[in-house]
Amino acid sequence: MELVHTFTVAAPAARIYAHLMDPRSYLGLSPLLVEVRDIHRADDTVSYVAVERFTFGPFHWNNPIRVTMTGEALGRAVVSAVRSPGFVTLTSRVVLSPQVSGTLVVETIRLAAPAPLRRFVVGQARSVQLHRASELTRRMAAA
């Protein structure tokens, strides 16, 4: 399954890239994320554990996921590979293209999940993708 979202951010690509390469920036960029820990950096690669919190009525489930982010194309792309429990994998590629009015951002998410989880995973991924675009746009305008 592939989800693509394109939007423009009124900020230079270098500023957006720096923000996206900091795992702590994803707190709030993803409405599910409640914790980022075990951050390790090596050159253009950052690995960490992100904890997502899912709420089902009065119940909460914390889902620790392993994330590896790689900066590519001289600061013009960020690729995040995610391994989650339940045999869910997700790869997000964010491409930043400088424009006169700021930066064109194209995020492509590819995901795989077992059949019983697929609909839920796709729905959550799309919701997070749209929230992230809105929040990133807001943050860059406020800074």
pLDDT tens-digit series, residues 69-109: 999 878 899 999 998 888 999 999 999 999 998 999 999 99
Q: How many whole angstroms separate alpha carbon 106 and alpha carbon 119?
A: 23
Domains of the chain: 2-142 (3.30.530.20)
pTM: 0.91
Token look-up 């194309």 returns 73
Q: How many whole angstroms separate alpha carbon 97 and alpha carbon 13?
A: 7
pLDDT for position 55: 85
